[in-house]
Structure 1
Amino acid sequence: MPRENKFVPDWKQDEWLEQLMDQYGNQLTNLAFSYLKDWGRAQEVVQDVFVTCFHRAYQLEEIRSVEAWLYRITINKCKDVLKSSWFKRVIVGSPLFQFLRSKEPTPHEHMLQNSEDEQLAQCVLQLPLAYREVILLYYYENLTVPEISELIDVNQNTLRTRLKRGREKLAQLLEGGDHDER
């Protein structure tokens, strides 16, 4: 049972949540998609994020940045999905899933197909998770190194190294191949 929210009155909690969904819904869905590479699962994760926000509204007094808080919850939920046995069994391991998957592109895939940045976006999604995460947060979400460091709980120097290596791997992918198999 959720704790009583002393920061947001009950009658305003619905309005607050609606504002969060309007303001951050698309960003969080794109972030979740970058982890899961499945539009439907990304949408489910974001719905779960907003349910969590509703139940944790009492924590608002302790939160320095709502945006960072939402990103952290989304990232953690995506990692939970990736670790789940269901995901490994159904998404990764099942050839039946590939057969049943709709041939219609998702809205995100459709947008990428029509974009002149399609190749870049596809290459970013091919990066290993550690590099993809920092590249997306730095370039697409316009977060600073200190913000990302706090958000994903990684030392700033480590983060800078990941950014550098991520850019190098991205350049290799854009040139037509991954020559470095680290």
Structure 2
Amino acid sequence: MEQVELEKIIDAHGEHLLRMAFFYLRDREMAKDIVQDVFISFYTSSNYEERGTLRAYLTKLTVNRCKDYLRSWPFRNLLFTHDWVETIHTQQDSLILNEERMELAITILKLPMKYREIIIFYYYEEYKIREIAAFLGLSENTVKARMVKARKLLKEKLKSEDWEVLSSE
């Protein structure tokens, strides 16, 4: 087989085979490796006979290589490693969120009492504005005004940090 002929075959079928491999593997780089391996195998072997279409033959080779890879130890090891690494990241993320919650709590505790109590009652104890007003003997409008001021103060104090805990809650 000539080099020019192989290039035409790659141009004609490469994108289709790459999509097919990606559907099986869900990994673009591994799909590229499989398709490259299929073309090398096709180029070096003389097993192809003109019984059907070349596209069908190359597709069958690609599918078989993908299935072989999915049954292989490197793939299973990769899955195991990926799951393990995700678990580590999940634990690290949990630690980061806990640390951020602690820093947020410390920052809230540094607010003046009239703002701190509003934040604590509203966000931590989950009381409604009306209930907070009744507890503190204030009007609802005063509680709302203090809530706005408390949020503004917190925002200023926490401005320099990127807070994951605040983005998810």
TM-score with structure 2 length normalisation? 0.47
Which of 1 and 2 has higher RCO (CA within 8 Å, sep 6+)? Answer: 1
Q: Whose radius of gyration is greater, 1 or 2?
A: 2
- Which has the larger helix fraction? 2
Q: So what's the TM-score if we normalise by structure 1?
A: 0.44
